[in-house]
Chain A
Amino acid sequence: MRKFLSDSVINIKPSGIRKFFDIVSEMKDAISLGVGEPDFDTPWHIREEGIYALERGKTFYTSNSGLKDLRIEISNYLKRRFNLNYDADNEILVTVGGSEAIDIGLRAVINPGDEVIIPQPSYVSYEPCAILTGAKPVIIDLKAENEFRLTAEELLAAITDKTKVLILPYPNNPTGAIMERENLEEIAKIVIEKDILVMSDEIYSELTYNGNHVSIAELEGMKERTILINGFSKSYAMTGWRLGYACAPNEIIKQMTKIHQFAIMCAPTTSQYAAVEALKNGDEDVTQMRQAYNQRRRFLIDAFKKMGLSCFEPYGAFYVFPCIKEFGMTSEEFATKFLQEEKVALVPGTAFGDCGEGFLRISYAYSLENLKNAIGRLENFIARLRNEK
């Protein structure tokens, strides 16, 4: 069989924590803090627009780059929320989730042997997508003492003359870290000086809790060297609709559209109509969800403080990333033991890169009630571990 398979796919290592996931999926009564998607239903007015689109028979392909109305709304939205100027006709491509945009964005710019810098811990798909294009991933191990922000020194140390792309995953899954304007300015300076392209994955841009998100594309000289990734999954609780977008200079969008056209044709039509409604009339929904997430975030940080569990205060996404090094176990050992003894599933930090060792990702895309229940169990568990020592 092996002779039929592609070497480059075989060489992608399967997720290191497959074993853990298998145990979780067998435990039916476990409660989970392990989910990377909102707990809210898509707001009803958005769902309804999807239903209306189906009723009106809007069941055909759209143009490859997406409904014109949707691209116009995306353009307005980016201007309104993040002070970005993207032309609806030439600089925006509607994709099947942010994931597709990451994949085809890399494919559109990588030649075999190019290096792609990936700060970790970060979302699981950057590295395999880079490998599939024939790129060499260069990993930066982000540090807890920097609150998992990317620093200028770390970036400089990773750059070689083969560096083509820097992936900038903020607000960050799994750490909840953000990059503030002055952090981004330092990165931008280097990126411009070294003539590197940035792929900025801003899928969590609506979920920041200490002020508005800043996009690196807003900084001077950066728009022409940025592929901006965003989408509807996290901000409007629309994960299952599979809808995202990429914004970039026309030369890049043109090439991405070519791949998109041949591989995908277009993003789902129903979802596109629903997304127009989301952007037109959904600002208040986003505000309310953000407020709910923020309350849960404060609850968790306070609970960790009371337990004496070390955790920096994250200001983005819906994750906290506490450190468990004091217990002398690996992340996976801790997560497995916690699951078996207290029946709570959370994700070992190592799922997001080797440097996630010693950390856990806890998602707060759960009701306060669920969080309280789970945190109570974590408290018991930790007390037992400390007693045993």
Chain B
Amino acid sequence: MKEELLSILEKNSRIDFSELAVLLGKSEEEVLTQLSELEKEGVICGYHTLINWEKTSIEKVMALIEVKLTLQRGRGFDSIAERIYNYPEVKAVYLISGGYDLLAILEEKTLKEIASFVSGKLSTIDGVLSTATHFILKKYKDHGTILNKEDKDEREVITP
């Protein structure tokens, strides 16, 4: 039930537990117990909403930043990553295999703010060798959801 419960919640975090119980074919108590366990274990880290900001008048600029590191004795990836992810404007940080080491996702109001973060804060961190900044121009799909998708039922109204 754990995996099915998580995949329902990942799509719809607003669902209440009595409905969860119906969909999973379990009692409400079982679902509640499982949910609080998953929260306590930190498996469920939050209940977020997927927002397509492009459809609002609110300006946001997002950038993917590749970060190359030089590691020094006694200081691994984790400690440098921490210095980066502690900035609230950094939305995500991943350790990456391949041509660079960290991928940071940054969200700001203007392009200028991103530029100043990269040159003023990110590049000056000890151990950051170089950065490459990619601005996001358009989001097609986010968190498994196709944005701007027309939801039209193409089927006949009644078929045997």
Contacts and interface: CB of A to CB of B under 8 A. Distances in A.
Contact-size category for B: 10 to 19
Nearest to B4: A291
Interface string B8-45: 10000000000100111100000000000000000000
Interface string A1-43: 0000000000000000000010011000010101111010000
Contacts of A183: none
Contacts of A24: 157-158
B153 A39 contact: yes
Interface stretch (A103-111, A129-137, A294-302, A321-329): A294-302
Contacts of B25: 294, 298
Interface string B109-136: 0000000000000000000000000000
Given A35-B155, A37-B155, A39-B153, A298 B160 contact: no
A169 to B, nearest CB: 12
B153 A124 contact: no
B156 interface: yes
Contact of B157 (A32, A294, A299, A302): A32
Contacts of A347: 158, 160
A30 B157 contact: yes
A21 B158 contact: yes
B24 A345 contact: no
A351 interface: yes
B145 interface: no
Given A295-B8, A299-B22, A299-B23, A123 B160 contact: yes
A299 B155 CA distance: 23
Contacts of B24: 295, 298
Given A291-B4, A295-B24, A34 B158 contact: yes
Contacts of A21: 158
Contacts of B23: 295, 298-299, 368
A345 B157 contact: yes
A347 B159 CA distance: 9
A36 B157 CA distance: 10
Contact of A32 (B8, B19, B158): B158
B159 A37 contact: yes
Contacts of B158: 21, 24-25, 32, 34-35, 345, 347
A24 B156 CA distance: 10
B160 A124 contact: yes
Nearest to B23: A295
Nearest to B25: A298
A346 to B, nearest CB: 8
Interface string B136-160: 0000000000000000010111111
Interface residues of A, number: 25
Contacts of B8: 295
A352 B159 CA distance: 12
Contacts of A35: 155-159
Nearest to B151: A367
A347 B24 CA distance: 27
B4 A25 contact: no
Contact of B160 (A25, A36, A345): A36
A347 B19 CA distance: 27
A34 B22 contact: no
B1 to A, nearest CB: 11
Contacts of B153: 32, 39
B159 A36 contact: yes
A1 B39 CA distance: 74
A298 B7 CA distance: 17
A20 B158 CA distance: 10
A320 to B, nearest CB: 14
Contacts of A123: 160
A368 B22 CA distance: 12
A123 B159 CA distance: 11
Interface string A115-129: 000000001110000
Nearest to B15: A368
A298 B22 contact: yes
B151 to A, nearest CB: 9
Contacts of A299: 19, 22-23
Given A25-B157, A34-B158, 8 more contacts: A24-B157, A24-B158, A32-B158, A35-B155, A37-B159, A298-B24, A299-B19, A352-B160
26 contacts: A24-B158, A30-B157, A32-B153, A35-B157, A35-B158, A35-B159, A37-B155, A37-B159, A39-B153, A39-B155, A173-B160, A291-B4, A294-B25, A295-B8, A295-B24, A298-B23, A298-B24, A298-B25, A299-B19, A299-B22, A299-B23, A345-B157, A347-B160, A351-B160, A352-B160, A368-B23
Interface of B: 4, 7-8, 19, 22-25, 153, 155-160
